[in-house]
Amino acid sequence: MKFDVLTLFPAFFESPLQAGVLGKALEKQLFHMAIHNLRGWAEAPHFVVDDAPYGGGGGMVMKPEPIRRALDAIRREAPRSRLLLMTPQGRAFRQRDAVGLSREEGLILLCGRYEGIDERVRAWVDDEYSIGDYVLTGGEYAALVIIDAVARLLPGVLGNELSAGEDSFGDGLLEYPHYTRPAEFDGIRVPEVLQSGNHAEIARWRRRERLRRTLERRPELLDEAALSTGDRRLLAELRNRPEEKKE
Ligand code: ADE
């Protein structure tokens, strides 16, 4: 997988992509990254990338020509990559999008800045994504979020191959609670079942806690979650015993 990022602020990506899990994966060349400075495709001598909006009003709009030249150049090296535009007007980015995108050969992430991008650019993109219903100063934040969510699904990126499988949202449910030593802290004991060594019991407890958490915090996720008959029975129990829902 190759990520090509087109941005006015390449420095933005330096430290997040050096640190932690993604930094290590990049070192091991488990995926590839190229950060392209959009200004490099603007015209000398002023290298202008934005202009006033037609129709008046505040703010500046990113011009289409440098973006077109940059994309043409990037596409020559990555003809089959999917082109994604980061914008608050896009479709809400979800885990299933990350899963789908992780199967692509490459992704080009176009980061908007200023008031927006000339509308004609939108005709060239494959998908428009928003990372939430709020407005950021630029698409760079969204691009990093998407890169992280996709890259961690690529083979070998997470040391432990199991780790991505039980993620929150993997099957539409939130994750179960985690504990490590000590067995008691601040007067709160780790649930006995987790110390029992009984793996079947532990699996049952975890499933139940996932259902409970999702019911409490994000009940709307249950409509789309992959639920078995047993899950539905547990959910009915949890719904009938609201006092047990409290943590
Ligand atoms: N650019 C500005 N805000 C954004 C958002 N919420 N998602 C994606 N790109 C953005």
If one residue of 62, 87, 111, 146 were mutated to test the ligand 1 pocket, choosing by the most ligand atoms within 8 A of its CB, it would be: 87
**CA angle, corner 18, sides to 16 and 24, nearest 5?**
120
Indicate whether 122 and 178 sit together in one domain.
no
Is the pLDDT assigned to residue 3 strictly greater than 90? yes
Of 121, 151, 181, the position where a domain reaches its end is: 151
Q: Whose CA is nearest to atom 9 of ligand 1?
A: 87
Q: At what angle do helices 20-27 and 139-151 cross, to 10 degrees?
A: 70
Q: What was the pLDDT predicted at 170?
A: 72
Indicate whether 139 and 202 sit together in one domain.
no
Based on the structure, what is the number of domains in the chain? 2
Query: How high is the mean pLDDT of the chain?
Result: 94
107 falls within a domain: yes
Is the pLDDT assigned to residue 4 strictly greater than 60? yes
Q: What was the pLDDT predicted at 57?
A: 94
Could you give the C-alpha distances from 118 to 36, 62, 114, 121, 128, in angstroms and in order? 19, 6, 11, 6, 14
Indicate whether 133 and 84 sit together in one domain.
yes
Percent of the chain past pLDDT 90, that is, above it, reads: 90
The enclosing domain of 196 has a CATH number of: 1.10.1270.20
160 falls within a domain: no
Length of the chain: 247
Indicate whether 74 and 113 sit together in one domain.
yes
**What is the domain range of residue 205?**
168-240
Q: Tens of pLDDT along 104-131?
A: 999 999 999 878 999 999 999 999 999 9
Ligand 1 atom nearest 135 alpha carbon: 3
**Residue 106 DSSP class:** E
Ligand 1 atom nearest 131 alpha carbon: 7
Question: What b/e readout covers 71-101, taking b as 16+ CB neighbours within 10 angstroms?
Answer: beebbeebeebbbbbbbbebeebeeebbeeb
157 falls within a domain: no
Indicate whether 133 and 198 sit together in one domain.
no
The enclosing domain of 28 has a CATH number of: 3.40.1280.10
